[in-house]
Amino acid sequence: MGVLKRWGKRPSSQRAGKRVGRAGRRFSNRLLARVLPLPRNHGVEEIRDVRTVLLVRPNPKIGNTILSTPFVQALRAMFPGARLLVLGSETSGVVLAHLPIDGIYVLSPSFVLRPWRLAALLWRLRSEKIDVAVEAGMGSFSGSLFSRLSGARYRVGCEGSASRLLNVRVPRPRVAHVRDRIPEFVRALGGECSDELVYRVSADEDAAAAGLLRDPSRADQRLDRGFLAIFVGGHLDKRLPDDRWVSIAEELDRAGVRFVVLAGPEEHALRDRLAERPELARHLLPPQPLRLVAAVMARAALVVTTDSGPMHLSSALGRPTIALLERERSRRFVPRGGEDRVLMSPSVEDVTGAVRGHPRWASLAGG
């Protein structure tokens, strides 16, 4: 499994996986259209006597899990008193910790080689006697499939190619920004929902982050006075070139900015380049688990990141964010708070200029 996991992290493997996944979904949809009749579409008003609700979001990406968090409060309000369960990925248990959820069922990639474990999970899930399963991807084939396999009486989702797997279907939201999808979807179900992302840092995690930032190697930076958190990483073509990150770090160091660098798990080469330069190595944090990364970001005065899971994490933490984009499509996902900034294909000067011109600048520089 270790070899397969390393192979799966290669960009070429990820691109191939996307192509295979799209082809598989097209084939599955055509097959379903032949063998599975379209069930009657129940009206929302028919959903009654709800004791257990299942939120289905098996996508393993951090950002997609965080983007689904507004559903938690919405479903709590729509079905007061009901148990709220989540069917998600291995990421879900990490991201959703400390939220008002009664249980999480995890779909693991290892189930491909151990299908009996998937069968056991589905048996346990069906024993919960789910009343309502909500497909949180709003068009995800896998989410719709597992909604049906859960045995839920009402399987709620969006109209589309996977409609045959659902029996409470509402129009798919057509919005310019991804953050507007869930509120519109919930309104179609007769509820109300904020677009605010949710993430909670525990007191123990905050204390651990404070200890990490007090490391003697960074004592001269006085990070307790405020600092900039930089996340370097990203998926495929959302990444910035390593040379640009090194130059950005050099310019910020010369400007006397207090900052720390958080590197993604695949950024070994960039970490090595930063570590071999003493003036930059002092800004580099050791690799940390996701929840400790989040706790560090929660203490930052400002966050700089690419279009990535940590971009959504920063927004969920309420941190002002400078988002560095490499694709026009990423504009649909960016934070949009009053102190958030968006830079498209930025140069080193663009990034450092945005940091200097940000309202939080006074918290980042000086003695």
Domain architecture of the chain: domains with CATH: 38-188 (3.40.50.2000), 203-363 (3.40.50.2000)
Residues, the chain: 367
For 326-354, the pLDDT digits (tens) are 999 999 999 999 999 999 999 999 999 99
Give the per-residue pLDDT at 238. Answer: 81
Q: Taking 80 as the threshold, does the pLDDT of residue 32 lie above it?
A: no
What do you get for the CA distance between the two ends of the chain, in Å?
49
Alpha-carbon gap, residue 340 to 302, rounded angstroms: 9
User: Given its phi and psi angles, is residue 83 left (phi above 0), alpha (psi -120 to 50 degrees) or beta?
Assistant: beta
For 282-297, the pLDDT digits (tens) are 999 998 999 999 999 9
Q: How far is CA 175 from CA 132, 134, 170, 171, 243, in A?
A: 25, 20, 15, 12, 36
Q: For the residues of 138-204, what is the DSSP string, one character each?
A: SS-HHHHHHHHHTT-SEEEEESSTTGGG-SEEEPPP--SSGGGHHHHHHHHTT------------HH
Alpha-carbon gap, residue 282 to 262, rounded angstroms: 12
Give the per-residue pLDDT at 4. Answer: 43
Provide the percentage of residues in the chain whose pLDDT is more than 90: 74
More confident residue, 31 or 336: 336
Q: Taking 60 as the threshold, does the pLDDT of residue 7 lie above it?
A: no
Query: For residue 202, how many other CB atoms are within 10 A of its CB?
Result: 12
Alpha-carbon gap, residue 362 to 265, rounded angstroms: 31
Give the per-residue pLDDT at 3. Answer: 45
Query: pLDDT band at residue 23, thresholds of 50, 70 and 90?
Result: low
For 92-112, b/e burial (b = at least 16 CB within 10 A) is beebbbebebeebbebeeeee
More confident residue, 144 or 217: 144
Query: pLDDT band at residue 120, thresholds of 50, 70 and 90?
Result: very high
Provide the percentage of residues in the chain whose pLDDT is more than 70: 88
Query: pLDDT band at residue 39, thresholds of 50, 70 and 90?
Result: confident
Alpha-carbon gap, residue 311 to 306, rounded angstroms: 7
- Tell me if 237 sits within 8 A of 327, measured CB to CB: yes
Average pLDDT of the chain is 88
Give the per-residue pLDDT at 1. Answer: 42
Mean local confidence (pLDDT), 252-260: 93
Give the per-residue pLDDT at 150. Answer: 96
Give the per-residue pLDDT at 24. Answer: 53
Query: pLDDT band at residue 5, thresholds of 50, 70 and 90?
Result: very low
Give the per-residue pLDDT at 22. Answer: 57
- Which residues, other chains included, contact 6 with Cβ-Cβ below 8 Å and sequence gap of 6+? none
Least-confidence region, from 62-76, 217-231, 245-259: 217-231
Q: Environment class of residue 39 by beta-carbon count within 10 Å: exposed (0-12), middle (13-18) or buried (19+)?
A: middle
- Tell me if 305 sits within 8 A of 311, measured CB to CB: yes
For 159-210, the pLDDT digits (tens) are 988 889 999 999 999 999 999 999 999 999 999 999 999 999 999 999 999 9
Query: pLDDT band at residue 42, thresholds of 50, 70 and 90?
Result: very high
Q: What is the DSSP letter of 79?
A: S
What's the whole-model pTM score? 0.86
Q: What order do you get walking across the sheet with 168-170 strand by strand?
A: 103-106, 83-88, 52-57, 132-135, 154-158, 168-170
Q: Taking 60 as the threshold, does the pLDDT of residue 367 lie above it?
A: no
More confident residue, 33 or 232: 232
Q: Which residue has the tokens 């003036």?
A: 279
